[in-house]
């Protein structure tokens, strides 16, 4: 499981719901070392209700990667994906090298 939390920096309510989301991740995640990322979206909007510092503190508390981005302008979007891929790629490489084809199927 590689969960990512997303909130709207111009809507405090979306940020406040993250605590419930993290509880769900803790309850249902089978991996304690899951890579988690918190993304503050809509940084292109001027009327922020959630500061960057608040997002960063939340991410630190739950041991998450953190980035702010704008889906509209694409600012930070590529960086978010690159950071996440960098952190999870060792897991994929490990899984890839332990997959063996057996006829038409793959054996893990």
Q: pLDDT by residue for the chain (108 residues), tens digit each?
A: 345 788 999 999 999 999 888 888 778 777 667 778 899 999 999 999 999 999 999 999 988 889 899 989 888 777 776 776 676 665 555 555 444 555 554 444
Predicted pLDDT at 106 = 43
Q: How far is CA 6 from CA 26, 50, 87, in A?
A: 17, 12, 18
Predicted pLDDT at 83 = 75
Domain boundaries, the chain: 4-107
Q: How far is CA 100 from CA 25, 60, 84, 92, in A?
A: 31, 38, 26, 14
Structure tokens at 89: 């790629």
CATH code of the domain made up of 4-107: 3.40.50.300
């Amino acid at each position: 499981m590689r969960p990512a939390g997303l909130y709207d920096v111009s809507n405090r309510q979306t940020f406040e719901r993250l605590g419930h989301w993290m509880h769900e991740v803790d309850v249902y995640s089978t991996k304690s070392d899951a890579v988690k990322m918190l993304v503050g979206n809509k940084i292109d909007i001027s009327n922020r209700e959630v500061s960057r510092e608040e997002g960063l503190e939340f991410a630190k508390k739950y041991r998450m990667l953190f980035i702010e981005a704008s889906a509209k302008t694409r600012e930070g979007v590529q960086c978010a994906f690159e950071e996440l891929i960098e952190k999870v790629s060792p897991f994929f490489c490990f899984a890839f090298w332990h997959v063996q084809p057996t006829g038409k199927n793959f054996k893990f």
